Structure 1
Amino acid sequence: MNRYAGALRRYLPALGLLALLSCQDGGKATVAPAPPVVTPPAGSTFTNPLMASGPDPWVYQKDGYYYYMHTTNTNLRIWKTARMSELGSTSSVVAWTPPGSGNAAGNLWAPELYFLDGKWYIYYSAGPAGTDLGQQRTWVLENDAADPTTGTWVDKGRLFSSPEDHWAIDGTVLEQNGKRYFIWSGHNGLDGVQRLYISQMSNPWTLTGPRVELSHPEFSWEANGFGVNEGPEILKHGGKIFLVYSASFCGTDQYALGLLTASATADPLLPASWTKSTTPVFGQNPAGRAYATGHNSFFKSKDGQEDWILYHANSNPNEGCVEKRNPRMQKFTWNADGTPNFGTPVAINAALPRPGGE
């Protein structure tokens, strides 16, 4: 068994317990059934959640369309829509089904889709089929079609920073100062703490140079369940770059978003370029039935005037890190100091204005 699997096994029983509590009528906690996805009235509003299930939601915009993905565990699917507010009524296309065996046959997590150098790429986490999650690594697919829901996806293999080859998930891409970087959550080979790492890319499927640690759990809000920094995502605004990440074990209701900030001209490989916020920037809202809020992405409204956050949450307490997590979105603003203000998770089933241009 992979030597990091022992650390991960610490939370597998907790995951099973939380899932059990959400399913058993006789558990200590009485959990309300998951709310139905309410169809918004015709007109200018929509409601959250966008779908009944959708962990680790990701969206990419190109040529007037939104391309959406989320964790399915068994394959990689792409939803294509002209309106994010209508995501729930959009059908998906299977982009990739893994081989029946091998090092990337199961547990497909957190896919992210990009258009780079004239081709489409999907970065995703996977390992052997089964329950040994300690073998999760990051993998890359390539497609030269104009539309990623068409064409053929080619396996470009595993993405890792040689000679380091440790547990690695939740990869995302940063472009800055004319260079391209990959940021992910991984282990240091010594403990089970999830840290954020960065490495420069020589092409969309190859890392070059050292693996540099940017962040690790330092505060109590990053250590609910156990210490976790994961799900890094990039946001740029007003001469600054923000690395928004998810903190604490995803199976806890306290899963939340943290923030690293750097200048848009700084060298992102230097840890000193980044300043870490001491408090979370987005967290649960029990009154609005939003628990375990995290693993987000960002998009602009079609009219280009609004900034939106897309994230997953559970609709009831103690629902764990499983498929009950559902995708939600809401508009956010900016503070006077230029940092993002994500506000509070909006209550489910509340009528919200659609993104501008929809």
Structure 2
Amino acid sequence: MLLGALVACQGTTDPVAPTPPPTPPTTPTATTFTNPLLASAPDPWVYQKDGFYYFLSTSGGDVRIRKTAKMAELATGAIKIVWTPASATAANSHDVWAPELHFLDGKWYIYFTAGPGSCCGGQRLWVLENANPDPMQGTWTEKGRIFNPTEDEWAIDGTVLEQGSKRYLVWSGHRTGAEETQRLYISEMSNPWTLTGPRVELSSPQYDWEKYGPVPVNEGPEIIQHGSSTFLIYSASHCNTDNYALGQLRMPSTADPLVAANWRKSATPVLVTNAAGGAYGPGHNGFFKSKDGTEDWIVYHANSGANQGCGDARNPRMQKFTWNADDSPNFGTPVAIGTAVPRPAGE
């Protein structure tokens, strides 16, 4: 989110000016890169297909895709704006947040958050479709909102889970219009732009580390599957605090995702602030494989300084991660900005 799901609701309208990253202590070579990858790009998302990486992030007023063959060279990737609001008064004309690109049933789909300008009650999830093999080409068609007609509440940060023979949408939302606590929900999809069946609540803020800020928050759900488990990595606490962090839900890969009891929440966060490394409030992540397919990488945003909140100062970083003996992901500590890091294998 450009200004944060609830900070914007409380009257914050001016994005925080990006803080220039410090001069790297070492000069990157052809085999290394340094974080941050860009000066500004909140809510980063990466989708890879046919040898290319497609990067999306919150812009606030449109949906754009950045394409690159090498994630370490993201800054030089081609950029294309693929959607803008039809008008300044459209129901999705303001607060365009957290777009995600997915290739489903032979077509491209983008899920994004937007509203009419009253983010406390107006934010909803929208879907775009493109049949061209290259998402940078062809025509993007607005399919409309994706929502549960019996529980049509405030909703942001949609992502897709495929398990067994079914497909699901997972998102962050409010239980009712009068409540501001953000919870994680799931519904089955009958096609890439339609939900079917009930809205099931998977997670609500229960630990102290999920409750920092003006309201408790679970948002930015992302899926990664490994071994016999499916993991849902989410962002916890409000983005206007440096305590914004990543949490984890886990379930067996053969279990029913619509049964909330099948998901087990970790009692501690899995990625937290590294103040000494200039990584404050790491969160809203995505995942991708290295160019040669041998490594797992996480991409996330963080602020380079303290108390920079939910604005454009948030910049994208990436780092390789490993797997624990119990098959759970081990993200380690956010890599310090300006540190020369080996590029993803194959680059």
TM-score between both structures, scaled by the size of structure 1: 0.91
Aligned to 1:35: 21
Letter in 1 for 2:230: I
Structure 2 counterpart of 1:222, from 186, 210, 213: 210
- Within-5 A mapping of 1:114-193: 114-128=102-116, 130=117, 132-189=119-176, 190-193=178-181
Q: Find out whether 1:275 has 2:264 as its counterpart.
A: yes
What's the offset of the Cα at 1:281? 0.5
Question: Which position in structure 2 is the counterpart of 1:78?
Answer: 65
SS of the counterpart of 1:221?
A: helix
1:325 to 314, 320, 342: 314
Residues 156-181 of structure 1, C-alpha deviations (whole Å, 9 max, x = no match): 00000121110000000000011000
List runs of 5+ in structure 2 lacking aligned partners. none
Contact 2:156–2:171 (CA<8 Å) still a contact in 1? Answer: yes
Q: Would you say 1:94 and 2:89 are equivalent positions?
A: no
Q: Residues 33 and 164 (structure 1 numbering): CA distance in 2 closer, same or farther, change over 3 Å?
A: closer
Deviations 1:175-234 (A, max 9, x none): 001100000000011411100000000000000000000000001100000200000000
Quote the Cα distance in structure 2 between the aligned partners of 1:252 and 1:334. 28
Q: Tell me, yes or no, if the aligned pair for 1:293 and 1:314 is still in contact at 8 Å.
A: yes
Q: Which whole-Å CA distance do the structure 1 matches of 2:344 and 2:8 have between them?
A: 41
2: CA distance, partners of 1:270 / 1:157: 28
Is the Cα–Cα contact under 8 Å of residues 115 and 124 in structure 2 kept in the other structure?
A: yes
Q: 1:343 aligns with which of 322, 328, 332?
A: 332
- Match of 2:198, SS state, is strand
- Structure 1 residues 284 and 49: alpha-carbon distance in aligned structure 2, compared to 1, 3 A threshold: same
CA distance in 2 between counterparts of 1:37 and 1:143 reads: 40
Instruction: Give yes or no for contact 1:221–1:248 (8 Å, CA) kept in 2.
Output: yes
Structure 2 CA distance for aligned equivalents of residues 43 and 235 of structure 1: 29
Displacement of 1:10: 8.8
User: How far is 1:40 from its partner?
Assistant: 5.8
Supply the AA of the counterpart residue of 1:234.
Answer: I
- 8 Å CA contact retained: 1:222, 1:228: yes
What are the superposed Cα offsets for residues 23-51 of structure 1, whole Å, 9 maximum, x if unpaired? Answer: 6xxxxxxxx95315869634200000000
**Distance (whole Å) between structure 2 residues aligned to residue 111 and residue 274 of structure 1:** 25
Percent sequence identity over matched residues? 61
8 Å CA contact 1:161–1:208 kept in 2: the answer is yes
Residue 37 and residue 269 in structure 1: after superposition, are their counterparts in 2 closer, same or farther (change >3 A)?
farther
Aligned-CA RMSD value: 1.9
Taking the aligned partners of 1:311 and 1:324, their CA distance within structure 2 comes to 13
The amino acid that maps onto 1:342 is F
Could you say if the C-alpha distance between residues 211 and 168 of structure 1 is closer, same or farther in structure 2, counting changes exceeding 3 Å?
same
Aligned match for 1:352, one of 314, 320, 341: 341
Which residue among 251, 267, 272 is the counterpart of 1:262? 251
Q: Deviations over 1:239-271 (max 9, x none)?
A: 100000000001111100000000010000001
Q: Secondary structure of the residue that 1:149 maps to in structure 2?
A: coil
Q: Do 1:8 and 1:134's aligned partners in 2 also have CA atoms closer than 8 Å?
A: no
Aligned partners of 2:9 and 2:118 also within 8 Å = no
Q: Deviations over 1:46-91 (max 9, x none)?
A: 0000000000000001001001100000100101110000001223
2:8–2:119 contact (8 Å) kept in structure 1: no
Q: Determine if contact 1:34/1:316 at 8 Å carries over to the other structure.
A: no
The amino acid that maps onto 1:108 is V
Q: TM-score, normalised by structure 2?
A: 0.94
Structure 1 unaligned segments of length 5 or more: list them: 1-6, 24-31
| Kept in 2: contact 1:248–1:255 (CA 8 A) | yes
Q: Name the residue aligned to 2:95.
A: 107
Structure 1 distance, partners of 2:45, 2:202, is 22
For the 8 Å contact 1:37–1:48, the answer to whether it is kept is: no
- CA distance in 2: counterparts of 1:317 and 1:287, whole angstroms: 11
Alignment of 1:4-19 (within 5 A): 8=6, 12-13=10-11, 15=12
Separation in 1, partners of 2:229, 2:63: 32
Q: Do 1:187 and 1:194's aligned partners in 2 also have CA atoms closer than 8 Å?
A: yes
